[in-house]
Amino acid sequence: MEKQKLLTLLNQVKNGDISPEEAVLQFKLQPFQDLGYAKVDFHRDLRQGAAEVIYGKGKTPEQILGIVKAMAGQGGKNILITRMSQEAAQLVQQEIPLDYDPICLVGIACPQPELTAEGTIVVATGGTSDLSVAEEAARTAECLGNRVERLYDVGVAGLHRLLSNLPTLMEAKVVIAVAGMEGALASVIGGLVDCPVIAVPTSVGYGASFHGLTALLSMLNSCASGVSVVNIDNGFGAGYLASMINHMAK
């Protein structure tokens, strides 16, 4: 399309409909995306699984409904809304089919589950308190077309819980390790598996956990290879990146 627009412009020049000088002006005024570069739109559309994403925090229920309706009107499906308040969910549900989870605050409007990648993503947590962040990651990945296996409450202070799930870990294409407090889970899993590990520090803990800072620093210093880190409580980011890698995988 953009390419078409550019071709049209150039054909207009060729045919003398507009002068080269006028075209120069147009190029200057056109937004960059009109030039037809590969990623001509940067609108972060998530082509894997054809989902769209809305960051719900700081938006009113009405604003969210408006955006969802606009997207749904253009045939959008699996529209992901993160950090979505219950109020917003209730409003949206009155007009649009919505799959909403009140714990992780993730909503999927016009849900049409479809597996578009072959591999499995494992989401593991250190404790039960990390669940909401983990679910944000898991549901993001599922919404983007991935099979997700959950391994919750397998923290390193009870290693057998983790080790008894080794086969599940071994088969993953990507592991998302979600942990607060000392965040050691990422290192231990990183030493057990051969695939990329995405570490998500959570703000779970008290005292010197400093709202996730300790887990964050700990994960960044992991002595295991293949581990990288996203922001504190950023379940969405981990799920999105995991989906990207899983869809690349053979």
Quick one: which of 69, 116, 120, 217 contacts a copy of itself (CB under 8 A)? 217
Does residue number 29 form part of the binding site for a copy of itself (CB under 8 A)? yes
Binder to a copy of itself among 52, 110, 138, 173 (CB under 8 A)? 173
**Nearer residue to a copy of itself within complex by CB, 40 or 93:** 40
How far is the C-alpha of 173 from the C-alpha of 178, rounded, in Å?
16
Rounded Cα distance between 248 and 205, Å, is 35
SS3 203: coil
State which residue, 138 or 204, has the beta carbon closest to a copy of itself.
204
Residue from the set 11, 60, 86, 90 that interacts with a copy of itself by CB under 8 A: 11
Rounded to 10 deg, the angle between the 2-14 and 20-29 helix axes is 160
Question: How far is 10 from 13, CA to CA, in rounded Å?
Answer: 5
Burial of 106 (0-12, 13-18, 19+ CB in 10 A): buried
Considering only residues 126-165, where is the footprint of a copy of itself by CB under 8 A? 126-129, 155-161, 163-165
Residues 38-57 that bind a copy of itself (CB under 8 A): 38-39, 41-44, 46-47, 53, 57
Residues 92-121 contacting a copy of itself, CB under 8 A = none
